[in-house]
Structure 1
Amino acid sequence: MKRLHSFILKSFLGPLAFTFFVCMFVLLMQFLWKYIDELVGKGLEWTVIAEFLFYVSATLVPMALPLSILLASIMTFGNMGENYELTAMKAAGISLQRIMQPLTTLAVLISISAFLFANYIMPVASLKTTALLVDIKNQKPELILKEGIFTNDLPNFSIKVDDINKETGMMYNLLIYDHRNKRGNTNVTIADSGTMITSPNNQNMTLTLYSGNMYQEVKEKSRRSKKHPSRRIKFQEYVTNVPLRSTELKRSDEDRYSKNYKMLNLKQLVHSEDSLRGKFQQEKNTLVKGLIANHFFKKDAKRIRKDSIRSKDLLKKTMNIDSLFKSAPITKQLTSVSSALSFARKARENVSRKEGALLSKQKWINKFTNEWHRKFTLPFACLIFFFIGAPLGAIIRKGGLGMPVIVSVLFFIFYYIISMTGERFAKELVLPPAIGMWISSLIILPLGIILTYKATTDSAVFNIENYINFFKKINPLKFFKKKNA
Structure 2
Amino acid sequence: MKILYRYIIKEHIGPFVMSLSVIMFILLMNFLVKYIGQIFGKGLSAWVIIKLIIFNLAWMFALAVPMATLVAVLMAFGRLSSDNEITILKSSGISLYRIIRPALFAAFVLMLAMIFFNDRILPESNHQAKLMFRSIRQKKPTLQLEPSIFYTVDRYTIVVNRIEKPLPDEWLDLANLLGPEYRGKPETDRLVDVTIFDQSDAKADVTITAEEGYMTYSPAKKSLVFTLFRGEFHKMDRQKTGEYERSLFEKQVVYIPAEEFLYEERKDTDRSDREMTVSMMRRKVEYFRNQIQIRQKNFTNITDQNLAGLQRLILKSDSVQATSVDSLWAGISENKWKAAYHKAKRVVDRYYNQAKTNTKFIDMQKRAVNKYLVEIHKKFSIPFASIVFVLIGAPLGIRARKGSMGVGISLSIGFFLLYWVFLIGGEDLADRGLITPFWAMWGANIIVGLAGIYLTWKTVKETSFIEWDYWIGKLKFWQKKTDKRQKETSG
TM range (shorter): 0.7 to 0.9
Residues 1:323 and 1:68: Cα distance change in structure 2 (over 3 Å): farther
Instruction: Please give the root-mean-square deviation of Cα atoms over the aligned residues, in Å.
Output: 4.0
- Per the alignment, residue 158 of structure 1 pairs with 157
Deviation at 1:69, TM superposition (A): 0.8
Q: Does 1:439 align with 2:458?
A: no
- 1:347 corresponds, among 329, 338, 351, to 351
Give the counterpart letter for 1:350 in structure 2: Q
Q: Distance in 1 between matches of 2:296 and 2:480?
A: 65
- Per the alignment, residue 360 of structure 1 pairs with 364
Q: Distance in 2 between matches of 1:252 and 1:90?
A: 61
Give the counterpart letter for 1:360 in structure 2: M
- Per the alignment, residue 230 of structure 1 pairs with 244
1:330-365, Cα deviation, whole Å (9 max, x unpaired): 625555444433322222223334443333232222
**Contact kept? 1:295, 1:343, Cα under 8 Å:** no
Give the counterpart letter for 1:93 in structure 2: G
SS across alignment from 1:290: helix
**Contact kept? 2:204, 2:237, Cα under 8 Å:** no
- Per the alignment, residue 172 of structure 2 pairs with none
**Contact kept? 2:192, 2:213, Cα under 8 Å:** no
Q: Distance in 1 between matches of 2:149 and 2:404?
A: 54
Residues 1:252 and 1:199: Cα distance change in structure 2 (over 3 Å): closer
Unaligned regions of 5+ residues in structure 2, if any? 168-188
- Per the alignment, residue 184 of structure 2 pairs with none
Q: Does 1:383 align with 2:384?
A: no
1:109-146, Cα deviation, whole Å (9 max, x unpaired): 11111222222322333333333333343445422336
**Contact kept? 1:196, 1:205, Cα under 8 Å:** no
SS across alignment from 1:429: coil
Q: Distance in 1 between matches of 2:281 and 2:15?
A: 36
Q: Distance in 2 between matches of 1:158 and 1:88?
A: 82
- Per the alignment, residue 301 of structure 2 pairs with 289
Residues 1:398 and 1:280: Cα distance change in structure 2 (over 3 Å): same
Q: Distance in 1 between matches of 2:216 and 2:337?
A: 87
Q: Does 1:421 align with 2:425?
A: yes
Instruction: Give matches, 1:395-474, under 5 Å.
Output: 395-461=399-465, 467=468, 470-474=471-475
Deviation at 1:107, TM superposition (A): 0.8
Q: Does 1:271 align with 2:283?
A: yes
Deviation at 1:242, TM superposition (A): 4.4
SS across alignment from 2:93: coil
TM-score for the superposition, normalised by structure 1: 0.79
Residues 1:428 and 1:240: Cα distance change in structure 2 (over 3 Å): same
- Per the alignment, residue 50 of structure 1 pairs with 50
Q: Distance in 1 between matches of 2:328 and 2:76?
A: 84
Deviation at 1:443, TM superposition (A): 2.3
Q: Distance in 2 between matches of 1:184 and 1:21?
A: 63
**Contact kept? 1:196, 1:207, Cα under 8 Å:** yes
**Contact kept? 2:288, 2:366, Cα under 8 Å:** no
Give the count of matched residue pairs. 460
- 2:264 corresponds, among 223, 247, 250, to 250
1:37-95, Cα deviation, whole Å (9 max, x unpaired): 43324443433333332222223332111111111111211222233332333333332
SS across alignment from 1:176: strand
Deviation at 1:328, TM superposition (A): 4.5
Moved more, 113-122 or 135-144: 135-144
- Per the alignment, residue 122 of structure 1 pairs with 122
**Contact kept? 1:194, 1:207, Cα under 8 Å:** no
1:287-343, Cα deviation, whole Å (9 max, x unpaired): 3333432465245699999xxxx98xx9xxxx66x5565555562555544443332
- Per the alignment, residue 59 of structure 2 pairs with 59
1:267-295, Cα deviation, whole Å (9 max, x unpaired): 33323311221122212322333343246
SS across alignment from 1:93: coil
Residues 1:205 and 1:140: Cα distance change in structure 2 (over 3 Å): closer
Deviation at 1:423, TM superposition (A): 0.7
**Contact kept? 1:74, 1:393, Cα under 8 Å:** yes
Deviation at 1:9, TM superposition (A): 1.4
Give the counterpart letter for 2:267 in structure 1: D
TM-score for the superposition, normalised by structure 2: 0.78
SS across alignment from 1:402: helix
- Per the alignment, residue 30 of structure 1 pairs with 30
**Contact kept? 1:58, 1:122, Cα under 8 Å:** yes
Moved more, 209-218 or 122-131: 209-218
Deviation at 1:435, TM superposition (A): 2.0
Deviation at 1:472, TM superposition (A): 4.6
Q: Distance in 1 between matches of 2:69 and 2:228?
A: 63
Moved more, 115-124 or 170-179: 170-179
